[in-house]
Amino acid sequence: MPKKRCRQHVNPLSFRAEVERPDWEKVFPDLSRPLEVDVGCGKGTFLLARAASVPGRNLVGLEIRKPMVERARKDAAKLSLTNVFVLEANANLHFASLFREASVERVYVHFPDPWFKKRHHKLRVVTKAFLEDLASRLRDGGELHFMTDYEEYAKAVLPLVEAHAAFENALGPGTMALAPLVPDALSDREEWHMRQGDPIFRYLFRRRGR
Ligand SMILES: C[S@@+](CC[C@H](N)C(=O)[O-])C[C@H]1O[C@@H](n2cnc3c(N)ncnc32)[C@H](O)[C@@H]1O
């Protein structure tokens, strides 16, 4: 059973607004840099730390909770980061329209809302349809980083991704990472669960060549 912890989920179905694709040429000073996308970036702790540590890459955070988006934007401005952009968007609805085919180097899905009840599983971010979007938007050799503290979610995602023809488990079939995949930029949840000594299920998937 998952540990009792107050988790306030916003139903992603409540965010269905149209989201226009930003003019990426205007957003980022250099569009030729590798692009990374943090899905469900929350208040942007990981996103901003990552952007600060890799100035030669462009980072986009997608988040359905407006206050979190505003907070992340404010903090990015305070840090004068020009290689990061936070967008109020529903990854399940908007991912494919926001990015060009084979243009994304890396996608992070860190501690997605678990939606414990079976009837709520359809609200989870990682679905077959979402994987199709990722397969199309990731470039060959691009990466999908997935982390959760909820074993049942990990057990659902692992076979789903490994069975997909476009992906392979970069660490070997069924294998999870035993340490942070990006040690110099932990997400809030990753940091919290590490402090609690909780198990964390971390996977590194790679997009196969087309
Ligand atoms: C449990 S929090 C994890 C936040 C952060 N990634 C971390 O590891 O600390 C999950 C986040 O995903 C956001 N989210 C849920 N469904 C989403 C969707 N379909 N598109 C974008 N963001 C979503 C939630 O609003 C929430 O901020």
- pLDDT tens-digit series, residues 63-105: 999 999 999 999 999 999 999 999 999 999 999 999 999 999 9
Domains of the chain: 27-207 (3.40.50.150)
Predicted TM-score of the model (pTM): 0.95
- Separation of CA 97 and ligand 1 centre (Å): 19
Please state the rounded mean pLDDT for residues 30-47: 97
Residue closest via CA to ligand 1's atom 3 equals: 111
Q: What is the pLDDT of residues 130-163, one digit of tens each?
A: 999 999 999 999 999 999 999 999 999 999 999 9
Does the annotation count 113 as an active-site position?
Answer: yes
DSSP 169-207: ETT-TT--BSS-SSTTS--HHHHHHHHHT---EEEEEEE
Of the candidates 23, 30, 113, 140, the residue annotated as catalytic is 113
From its phi and psi, is residue 44 left (phi > 0), alpha (psi between -120 and 50) or beta? left
Nearest-atom index, ligand 1, CA of 114: 1
- Write down the pLDDT at residue 8: 62
Residues near ligand 1 with C-beta < 6 Å? 10, 12, 39-42, 62-65, 68, 90-92, 110-113, 125, 187-190
Backbone angles phi, psi at 121, to 5 degrees: -60, -25
Q: Confirm if 135 and 167 have CB atoms less than 8 A apart.
A: yes
Helix (H, G, I), strand (E, B) or coil at 56: coil
pLDDT exceeds 90 at position 10: no
